[in-house]
Amino acid sequence: MGPAAYSRRAAFTSLGAVLYAAGAYATSYIVSPWGMGQLRPAVIIPSLFSIIFGPWVGGVSAAIGTLIADSAKHGTLYLPSLVAAVPANLVAFYVFGKLLEGRFNWGRFIVASIIALLLGNSLCAVLYTSYKAAIGAIPGQLVPGLSLGLTLWWFSTMIPFQLLALPPLLRALVKAIPSLAPLDVREECLSSELPKRELVLALASPGAIMLAIGLGVYASQHVAWLFVGALNPGLREIVRMLIATIFSATGSILVAGSLILIKLGGKTGVNAAYPHS
């Protein structure tokens, strides 16, 4: 790789980091039922950069962007982000780009999205909660339940943006600047649509899990104990009801959206064949 290629990579990495930081910061005050862990539809930005410019650009821009956003929110270098979010974003979007590099198609895109988001979110959740427990910010007994809860919440709130908002954005970019995209991405975007069955399953499955957990937390003290049992008794019931409400609502939206896709799939074009899978 020559100097020009390195300069191009550095430029797009910087651009991706700035865009991701801005997008992440915009929703950084919308948090999970536990009051930690942010809503992040901006996940589509490093995903786009991973597809167009490669796994290193996507991964590094995500790592830098998340640190900037978290540090800007807290007004200082935010150590939990450095410990958890930076490595998790780097790994997630590098893996995502690597799985698609040179062999992009919509079916693979859905699978890569699921793998990368599960990997990145679970890694971030475990590192984040373990760090919080190590410094005494949360009780150690809360780590397993909070790690699981954050992983599911992050994944379920990211996957609809990843699968429904990113494809039209990618298509628009490819049509506007064809030379920017790799050949395999260009061909797939201009000739194929997302497969309906895989898309529906990718949205309905986490939706059903979220809905089941939300209802379970509401109806059963045993289920609720996994997620709130280690909390201060004064907070336990408040957080339990927040989990029940938010998880049930998120799950219902994902399941309902999947049913709408099944009904309208032929009209929206999501069930068209994709020839390069």
Q: What was the pLDDT predicted at 263?
A: 85
pLDDT at position 107: 96
- DSSP output for 143-204: HHHHHHHHHHHHHHHHHHIIIIIHHHHHHHHHHH-GGGS-HHHHHHHHH----HHHHHHHHH
Interval 17-27 mean pLDDT: 97
> Mind listing the pLDDT tens digit for each residue in 133-175?
999 999 999 999 999 999 999 999 999 999 999 999 999 999 9
36: nearest Cα among 134, 141, 131: 131
> Residue 137: phi, psi to the nearest 5?
-75, -30
Is 51 in contact with 59 (CB distance < 8 Å)?
A: no
pLDDT at 268: 43
Q: Determine how many CB atoms are found less than 10 A away from the CB of residue 259.
A: 14
What phi and psi, each to the nearest 5 degrees, are found at residue 118?
A: -65, -45
247, containing H or E segment: helix 233-268
| Lowest-confidence pick of 109-113, 246-250, 264-268 | 264-268
Task: Give the number of other CB atoms < 10 A from CB of residue 255.
Answer: 18
Place of tokens 């984040």: 128
> Using one digit for the tens of pLDDT, what is the confidence trace for 193-204?
899 999 999 999
Tokens at 186, concatenated? 């260009």
Asked whether the predicted pLDDT for residue 277 surpasses 80, the reply is no
| 188 touches 167 (CB < 8 A) | no
* Contact criterion met (CB below 8 Å) for 27 and 72: no
Q: What is the pLDDT of residue 151?
A: 97
Distance of alpha carbon 108 from the chain centroid: 16
Look-up: residue for tokens 């996994």?
226
What pLDDT shows up at residue 1? 64
pLDDT for 4: 72
DSSP, residue by residue, 74-111: HTS--HHIIIIIHHHHHHHHHHHHHHHTT---HHHHHH
Q: With pLDDT > 90 as the criterion, what percentage of the chain qualifies?
A: 87
What does the block give as tokens for 77? 């270098």
| pLDDT at position 236 over 60 | yes
Query: Can you count the helices (H) and strands (E) in the chain?
Result: 12, 0
Model confidence at 272: pLDDT above 60: no
pLDDT, one tens digit per residue, over 59-100 is 999 999 999 999 999 999 999 999 999 999 999 999 999 999
pLDDT for 275 equals: 40
Name the CA radius of gyration of the chain, rounded: 19
Looking up tokens 């939990």 gives: 80
Q: Cβ distance 84 to 54 under 8 Å?
A: no
Tell me which DSSP letter residue 2 carries.
-
What whole-number percentage of the chain has pLDDT above 70?
Answer: 95
Distance CA 122, CA 143 (A): 12
> How far apart, in whole angstroms, are the C-alpha atoms of residue 75 and residue 247?
30
